[in-house]
Chains A and B, each alone.
Chain A
Amino acid sequence: MFQELQEKFIDNFITDDRWQYIADGLITTLQVTFFAVIVGIVLGFLVAVVRSTYDKTGKLKVLNALCKLYLTVIRGTPVVVQLMIIYFVIFGDSRDISKVVVSVMAFGFNSGAYVAEIFRSGIMSVDSGQFEAGRSLGFNYFQTMRYIIMPQAFKNVLPALGNEFIVLLKETSVSGYIALQDLTKGGDIIRSRTYDAFMPLTAVAILYLAMVIIFTKLVNILERRLRSSDH
């Protein structure tokens, strides 16, 4: 039994340096996730500011309508379809575009919609008295947002935000649909070479799990730091 496992391990990972499919895939997955998170945060933040400014003041009507359209379309269609549309339709004629870039765009735009709603709920969760206190001291709308509302909103939404990025990390596993060699695809390539599903797919699953556990720990540390003011 042990002998058999060892042979399978060697066959799946050592022979022909097959572990490199996993290693390269892992790096690609981390790259895509990292940059998509950044795109998602920036986009989500901007959309949330537009939406809550409209809710609070009635300004930015046109931008708000555009943001709502974006939210409806992105949240109403599967991310894998969005990924394929960006790759095969929007960049259909330019085959030399990097698949990593396309994935970052697709997952970033997708995540932005969810992050926007998370941020918005965070902004709305801050007591309106905080806003009034800021304005009464003479801060303008955006200063009040920046110095008073956002720091509190961010703290309130950190758990939800952390969760969104865990979802994003795992969602990138559909990048194989545009033949990007991410972690999942890497494991799948090994499976197609060795005709063994157990070893490569288990390895892939363990790596996702490890990344999620490490990331959750990091979020918890950040949460504890930010909570220092609530005794």
Chain B
Amino acid sequence: MTTNYGDTLIRVEELYKIFGELHALNGISEEIHKGEVVVIVGPSGSGKSTFLRSLNLLEEPTRGKVIFEGEDITDKKVDINKHRQKMGMVFQHFNLFPHRTILQNITLAPVKLLKKSREEAEKRAMELLRLVGLEEKANAYPSQLSGGQKQRIAIVRSLAMDPEVMLFDEPTSALDPEMVGEVLELMKKLARDGMTMVVVTHEMGFAKEVATRVVFMDEGQIKEQAEPEEFFENPKDERLREFLSKIL
């Protein structure tokens, strides 16, 4: 089902994450291809966030491999920081830097890590701010923004590093309902522009409309995956049917 998309960007092999007694990830093997928008759904505690956070090793897997652009990034000898620069991540609680202005939030990593000049980084930041319609907030501090605005800035901050893939960890779960739309709109725009995305979310509308593939996780395993239409119209796994009946 992934034949329409580009080369493999991330390959996950037999991934396990064990916290004491809890098997958060129970042997996951999966591939993410260039240009795909993979939406991961599942009940809470199913391991979907842990899986997403394992992709850039914010969560260190107990066992198994994550291969990004052909390189095994779980190898201790690999400089994980170099790879993380190419994997943008958006968090549920935005995690903007409160002591820096919006512009500084966006330019910090490009200046310090990509060694861009300040002018160059600021020019790019302003382009991105225009893209999301927040250019007048450039010199504001995060505390002056609404939740939806914060999340759009968080997305822009990741985009400023020109990542190969964007990981979204429940990006709309902490937002007031009326602000969910503006964030989803931006994510749709990114998807249309061909950004590779892995999204953990409860927004089934987004999954139906934008996903190229929907993955259902439960008990630390991938129980089912399919293109959105097939996934929602014709679910096979018993747990998935139960899950869908509860939320749709």
Docked complex: B132-161 residues within 8 A CB-CB of A: 141, 143-144, 154, 157-158, 161
Q: Would you call A136 and B112 a contact (CB within 8 A)?
A: no
In the complex, which residue of chain A has the Cβ closest to the Cβ of B56? A136
**Digit string of A132-148 for contact with B (CB within 8 Å is 1, else 0)?**
11011111100100011
Give bound CA distance, A127 to B109, whole Å: 19
Interface hub of A133, A139, A151, A155 (most chain B Cβ within 10 A): A133
- Partner of B97 from the list A130, A132, A140 (CB cut-off 8 Å) is A130
Contact present for A132 and B58 (CB under 8 Å): yes
Q: Are B109 and A132 in contact (CB-based, < 8 A)? A: no
User: Is B76 on the interface with A (CB-CB < 8 A)?
Assistant: no
B18 CB → nearest A CB, Å: 17
Contact (Cβ within 8 A) A137 B113 = yes
Cα–Cα distance between A147 and B82 once the two chains are bound (Å):
17
Size bin of chain B's contact surface: 20 to 34
Whether A151 contacts B89 in the complex (CB less than 8 A), given A135-B58, A137-B84, A139-B113, comes out as no
Whether B66 is near chain A, meaning CB under 8 Å from some CB there, is: no
Tell me whether A129 and B84 are in contact (CB under 8 A): no
By the criterion CB–CB under 8 Å, are A138 and B99 in contact?
Answer: no
Q: How far is the CA of A152 from the CA of B99 in the complex (A)?
A: 7
Contacting residues, chain A, for B158 (C-beta < 8 A): 136-137
Complex contacts, B97 vs chain A, CB 8 Å: 130, 133, 148, 152
CA of A151 to CA of B97, assembled, Å: 10
Contacts of A147 in B (CB 8 A): 108, 112
- Give CA–CA (A152, B89) in the complex, Å: 21
Asked if residues B99 and A229 are in contact (CB atoms below 8 Å), the reply is yes
State in angstroms the CA–CA spacing of A152 and B141 once bound together: 14
Indicate whether A138 sits within 8 Å of B113 (C-beta atoms), given known contacts A148-B97, A229-B98: yes
**B212 interfacial by beta-carbon distance below 8 Å:** no
B20 to chain A, nearest CB (A): 16
Distance, CA A138 to CA B108, complexed state (A): 11
| B74 CB within 8 Å of chain A | no
Q: Which B residues are in CB contact (< 8 Å) with A135?
A: 58, 81, 84
Closest CB-CB distance, A182 to chain B, in whole Å? 38
Binary CB contact string for chain B from 60 to 103 against chain A (1 if under 8 A, 0 otherwise): 00000000000000000000011111011101010111111100
Instruction: Check A229–B91 contact: CB distance below 8 A.
Output: no
Give residues of chain A (92-147) contacting chain B, Cβ–Cβ below 8 Å: 127, 129-130, 132-133, 135-140, 143, 147
B113 touches A229 (CB 8 A): no
Q: Is the CB of B113 within 8 A of A133?
A: no
Whether the pair A151, B161 counts as a contact (CB closer than 8 A) is no
The chain B residue sitting closest to A138, CB to CB, is: B85
Q: B144, A139: Cβ atoms under 8 Å?
A: no
A133 to B81, CA, bound (A): 12
25 contacts between A and B (CB under 8 A): A127-B93, A127-B95, A130-B95, A130-B97, A132-B91, A133-B95, A135-B81, A136-B84, A136-B87, A136-B88, A137-B108, A137-B109, A137-B158, A138-B82, A138-B161, A139-B81, A139-B113, A140-B81, A143-B112, A148-B97, A151-B99, A229-B99, A229-B100, A229-B101, A230-B141
What residues of chain B have their CB less than 8 Å away from a CB belonging to chain A? 56, 58, 81-85, 87-89, 91, 93, 95-101, 108-109, 112-113, 141, 143-144, 154, 157-158, 161
Contacts A129-B93, A230-B143 supplied; 9 other A-B pairs, CB < 8 Å: A133-B96, A136-B88, A137-B113, A137-B161, A138-B82, A148-B97, A155-B99, A229-B99, A230-B98
